[in-house]
Structure 1
């Protein structure tokens, strides 16, 4: 008989348990979320480490990989971490270890690596069997006092061993090295900072516990760099931060914000008026090889008309050479266009979401982070002092027993020789403790010399004095803070601006103010084009300036509406019947092959609207806008630019009225013709200048609407063309009978005026 697949018991479905799916999912997802937040993605505010990094540090200490010892294979370290403390993939542990050793990732590396640990180009490290590692001095600072009951330990995942809950952290690692991680429903992103500045701010916070974030930040740099408090991030790769002091302060106050980091560059003179631009520092976290590839792609796509070539001449240091198109190119404008299009400028987010007291995730301000670190240091100091005190008390107890033994040496020897159980006899004879009696019995014969007694008395006095000092320290909070202050001051001196590791790398500057137009132009190759707009709203741009439009082909049922010459650097403005203006860069128009694309693909234009006109933007002009019903106003052309796909509503019209005309303002008078063939001429000064609206009535009609409108200089007279393209001009005197106030009905057009009712 085959094995039954039903569990043992009576019925087959007796052991099936019903579970509410919603509740089960909530519970399990919450458990997963908490696990990710607590044990993977968020760093602890006290030592700035995530569990995997803490376990690597702890394992390296157990393997005795101190800075003054030899290196060990990384595979050995990873094996130790994985086997004892961190039951996850070896590759993820090795990746974390590698990052701790990279000088371009960590501002203050915690691991001293030997071998290939990757590079700024994004190449990965060699396999763990080839690389070796040991701790740096900074790692030993983080671990200082771990054997002296400075922190709590907890059982490891298999409960065979113990691991520290947090490291003693005599180094402000969270802010010094930064951290980033994505948990469930929350993320963290903290940039690296300068330790000397952090220490100075911490000292200020010890002296002035009520200090605000403003007091911990230096706005104007001090002559002595070591006197600066926190100025902003200090990235291992350098760069230049171009944010205002106000935005930096706001970020540190709220714990949220971002920093704009630009590459550091300089102009190198090549003689004969030519130059190269050399980039020596790139933003933190940017892979150099990807950056250069992106710039090369933009070059090939002709998006960088001011740049001729890019070369990577980096060795140990970063050296990227940019060759301009010609000597006349402004290096500032060239770099601004590169900052806009490439990762030569990057934003580094600040989100100080950390585990406060190792338990509660929350976004902290700069002051709160420093406060929690200092409080942790105080707790570590008290715990280490208590541990040392217990050791001293135990040792003094032993020494006290030794001194009694020396005073009664003959009797002690006699008891040991004659008694079967000497220990209880000695304890009763001299009122000794168990520890003292045991220590006397364990004494070696060689230590019975007279000199040894002298040494014991000396040690007893020294320890008694140390005990009194520790007890005084534990009794006074003021003394505790004084000790922490001394420790932080010592750390600041170790990483002062005179040291290679302590020198500030990231600089601060104001972003140069350039005309956005100039930068926009610098990103587009300037070429002549002909813009073609069809009746049904299809757009295209043909290369070159065409003279003959009769050869243009269109979709069936479509025809030419208008065509005009432009440059690829121009902005093209479109006015729709709904009174909206849209702006499209000439470089973004579809090419001349085929019939182009409908305008509705490029902008959010309503289906019931059509294009009234299109033209090249000239910010120096003014426009006269008119609706079919005969209302209108003047607007500066610079005010109709739309920066989004949604366009800009300028003429307010309600159906059945619609925007009908948009003509550039020239001269000082307006001539308007209605569909009733009545002409009215009035001064332009009677039309108001507005930013948006319905406008004022230009001409009054009983029925119908406007047919054409024109602005002109009265001194030069009003001109029009007939169907045979003959030009007619009426001078000032001849126009007198048509001149009247705005909003009049006008008079019938003069003899010879085109039948179309248009000025031509």
Structure 2
């Protein structure tokens, strides 16, 4: 022991060195992916070993235990469970956006179930993985010794696809961690191509430029990303917070009872844990509006059903779920990867740039390999062609030679050939002497020469190399690209402007009596001639009919006024977009209505101009006028818009500029016009004053505001109507009964007045019937008639249908007409319109005879005008 040397070391220094060595080993060899192929060493070794075993994407599956054993024994001596877990994750379609392993058997589930034992499952390479391994045998990447120095393994894969961004990565190293989200192949490829097209000016490419192509992460489990600020920060700096929500739908299972259906959950969230958390909240009383919770998921997709109690408010329950469960979660982006064996935080542009540079290196090395191989083959073909050109002499020389070596030397000397060429001639079979075989050799030489020229030009031209990357990327995108699964939406927390996310489009908003709402692009309804049937505009539920039709823009704010005198707000673009024949979504999914509360009016507001007013009219004819700005800040649970009497309800709300006339019309054809200034401006909670005196057997049918030069469109419920100049309707004071604005004797033909709305120059008018058909007419096609005229057929109604709603809008605000599918051509519509006129001819003749024998009393226009009501503001 006396001869043993004792070395003194500084413990502090020794710990530093040992720890740093360990840390770098973990960082480089285990936890972080390479920025070029997006793979950690264990993943790379699994895929390489599977290819080395001959397990192809078009071949049979092999036992997982056999694959794990191969990887463990040859490349990755770190335990079989780590290898199998890594392989299992690469096969999970809920973990990988583009799975790299095609698994057969139980490889785990989104419920958190573990994969079956490796002796039960089988696997093979996925088709897309072939693109990661392509050209690996062409000296495209460097190899290094395996752990025992007996074999070689690749340091990186050639990887034709940007796997780092496509599938993302997650890992915890020593002192650092990576968490890269997955993305959509089509979007990433489009961004790559944009960078390639602007490669000379790559320094000036901004994150905004790339985000024109890449909306954001695209998770395999779908979901909804709230806002773009977190995405932009992550793409700019490599770090950011992305808020993700599950995707939900609301269904009405029976009147007043709603179900919340969860069809997608945030990425990396355990479905079973989520359901257990919801159940726990119900038991604790935090979600007391839930009556039942069940998981109806199957192999066709996810479906978690949350059944609400009667009068339960779906939107409120959803907000509680977002707050208290992982239905809304945050994905913390850390785009950390190895660049030249050093951990680096990457922006989106930098990650794409590194991959493009990797592909350029692979293409250069591949081209060098193929060029050398092509030149070697051309050299052999050159010798064969010399032999074929001198075939008799070659045969004689070989026959005269004592042995093969003598023959080879003779050929080399006589024809100035290389050793390889002479050997190839000696190895040539006699059948190659045939004329066709000689032609094949000549054709092959031409092809090889062309290939050599192409490869030499490619290696000499960097732009051509970039075009090759671009072409290969486009081909793979066409082959493997798919649609986005995760959508990106605005969120109030993110403070995003609506214009950043939503195109400004003209739309129609429809509301049914049973409270189903939707928006559709205005251009799906083309204009027709009078008497048209129109197209199906709403998939109505049984015993339901349309009640409101409002023209708006997607950037507008919708004010929802209810029968109880309250007002709620929501952005137009947040209303569920539907097709023409969709039924829509329950309005309770848009705003939080109270029990027995019903939306009676919709107003679309582009800006809350302080000079504008809202005119409100109740079912009993009370009216009030309030500045629009009073309603610019509405709470989520609504605010009071008007104070109502017990037997009254709010029915109409109109926006004015303070200088218009108010026109009120009843079902029996009485109309009253008076200046809005007669109704003084009142506070938000005032109850209003008497607007129109209504007969006991009559009801208020319509209210609108008009300028002196406008026309009033009067429409009966049977689709008959007319335009009348507003000037022809005399002005009276409020609280009077007004004058007739249609033919009193024709009400049996026209039906009760359903709408009296204002038409201005270049305005279109849109009708919706009680059965959901939509007809849009140019206002100028509607004839101008006198105040007491009956009108003409405007809309042809199917049996049992009536006109349910009418709205007018500026035709210039609607995009070019689009003829929807399954619409009859205009000629057929005109023929049907002619048939419609014939149906009322007999009744028209009877009415004309009655008018000739008994003139309509003039007293209609000179009725006694009652004095103004002396109601005071309450």
**Which TM bucket (shorter chain)?**
0.5 to 0.7
Question: Of residues 281, 285, 296 in structure 2, which corresponds to 1:313?
Answer: 296
User: Any idea what the Cα deviations from partners look like across 1:408-449, whole Å, max 9, x if unmatched?
Assistant: 223333333323432223222221112112222222333333
CA distance in 2, matches of 1:202, 1:187: 26
Q: Which residue of 2 aligns with 1:649?
A: none
Over aligned residue pairs, what C-alpha RMSD do you find? 1.7
Q: What is the aligned partner in structure 2 of residue 439 from structure 1?
A: 424
1:181 alignment partner, SS class:
strand
1:313-462 alignment runs, 5 A limit: 313-316=296-299, 317-327=301-311, 329-357=312-340, 359-417=341-399, 418-420=401-403, 421-462=406-447
> Are 2:74 and 1:94 equivalent residues in the alignment?
no
Q: Does 1:236 align with 2:236?
A: no
> Which runs of structure 2 are paired with 1:604-615 in the superposition (5 Å)?
none
Pair 1:212-2:170 in alignment: no
In the alignment, structure 1 residue 294 sits paired with structure 2 residue 277:
yes
Does residue 146 (structure 1) correspond to residue 136 (structure 2)? The answer is yes
Match of 2:49 among 41, 55, 59: 59
Residue 262, structure 1, aligned to residue 245, structure 2: yes
Task: Give the match for residue 61 of structure 2.
Answer: 71
Q: CA deviation at 1:298?
A: 2.0
CA distance in 2: counterparts of 1:178 and 1:278, whole angstroms: 29
Q: Shift of the alpha carbon at 1:287?
A: 0.6
Hey, what does 1:511 align to over in structure 2? 491
Deviations 1:51-80 (A, max 9, x none): 111111101111222111111111111111
Matched, 1:160 2:147: no
Which aligned pairs between 1:85-234 and structure 2 lie closer than 5 A? 85-209=75-199, 210=202, 211-218=204-211, 229-234=213-218
Q: CA deviation at 1:168?
A: 0.7
Instruction: Quote the offset at 1:216 in angstroms.
Output: 3.8
Please say if residues 73 and 133 of structure 1, whose CA atoms lie closer than 8 Å, have aligned partners that are also in contact: yes
Give per-residue Cα distances to partners, 1:60-115, cap 9 Å, x unaligned: 11122211111111111111111111111111100000000000000000111111
Q: Distance in 1 between matches of 2:129 and 2:194?
A: 25
Unpaired stretches in structure 2, ≥5 consecutive residues: 495-874
SS at 2:28 equivalent: helix
Shift in Å, 1:15: 4.2
Matched, 1:43 2:21: no
Once residues 18 and 173 of structure 1 are traced to their aligned partners in structure 2, the CA distance between those partners, rounded to angstroms, is 49
CA contact (8 A) 2:256 2:310 kept: no
Query: 5+ residue gaps in structure 1?
Result: 1-10, 219-227, 497-501, 515-760
Contact 2:44 2:156 in 1 (8 A): yes
- Judge conservation of contact 1:200–1:492 (CA < 8 Å) in 2: no
2-structure distance, mates of 1:338, 1:482: 49
Distance 1:513 1:405 in 2: 81
TM-score between both structures, scaled by the size of structure 2: 0.54
In structure 2, how many angstroms separate the alpha carbons of the residues matched to 1:130 and 1:485? 42
Alignment of 1:444-593 (within 5 A): 444-496=429-481, 502-511=482-491
CA drift of 1:141 comes to 0.7
- Assess if the C-alpha contact under 8 Å between 2:257 and 2:309 holds in 1: no
- Taking the aligned partners of 2:424 and 2:147, their CA distance within structure 1 comes to 39
Distance, in Å, in 2 between the alignment partners of 1:61 and 1:478 is: 32
Scaled by the length of structure 1, what TM-score is found?
0.62
Tell me what 1:679 maps to: none
Moved more, 455-464 or 439-448: 439-448
How is 1:670-709 mapped onto 2 (pairs within 5 angstroms)? none
Shift of 1:203: 0.6
Tell me: CA distance 1:18–1:446, structure 2 relative to 1, closer, same or farther (3 Å).
Answer: farther
Distance 1:366 1:26 in 2: 34
Give the match's secondary structure for 2:90. helix
Shift of 1:198: 0.2
Q: Contact between 1:240 and 1:507, CA under 8 Å: does it hold in 2?
A: yes
Deviation at 1:13, TM superposition (A): 4.9
Change (3 A) 1:495 1:216: farther
Other structure's SS at 2:171 match? strand
Q: Kindly state the Cα deviation for residue 453 of structure 1 after the two structures are TM-superposed.
A: 1.7
Conserved in 2, the CA contact under 8 Å of 1:121 and 1:287? yes
User: 2-side partners of 1:513 and 1:87: how far apart?
Assistant: 48
Q: Deviation string for 1:313-336 (max 9, x for gaps)?
A: 111221111122431x32112111
1:405 deviates by 1.5
- Does the aligned pair in 1 maintain the 2:219–2:486 contact within 8 Å? yes
CA pair 295-289 structure 1, distance change in 2 beyond 3 A: same
Mapping for residues 643-682 of structure 1, pairs under 5 Å: none
Deviation of 1:492 after TM superposition, in Å, equals: 2.4
Contact 1:216–1:367 under 8 Å retained in 2: no
SS of residue in 2 equivalent to 1:96: helix
Residue pair 1:52, 1:96 contacting (<8 A) in 2 also: yes
SS state at 1:247 partner: helix
Q: CA shift at 1:386, angstroms? A: 0.9
Would the alpha carbon gap of residues 254 and 413 (structure 1) be closer, same or farther in structure 2, given more than 3 Å must change? Answer: same
Q: Give 1:21's match in structure 2, choosing from 6, 11, 20.
A: 11
Distance 2:442 2:417 in 1: 18
1:112-147 C-alpha deviation (Å, 9 max, x unpaired) = 111111111000111111111111111001111111
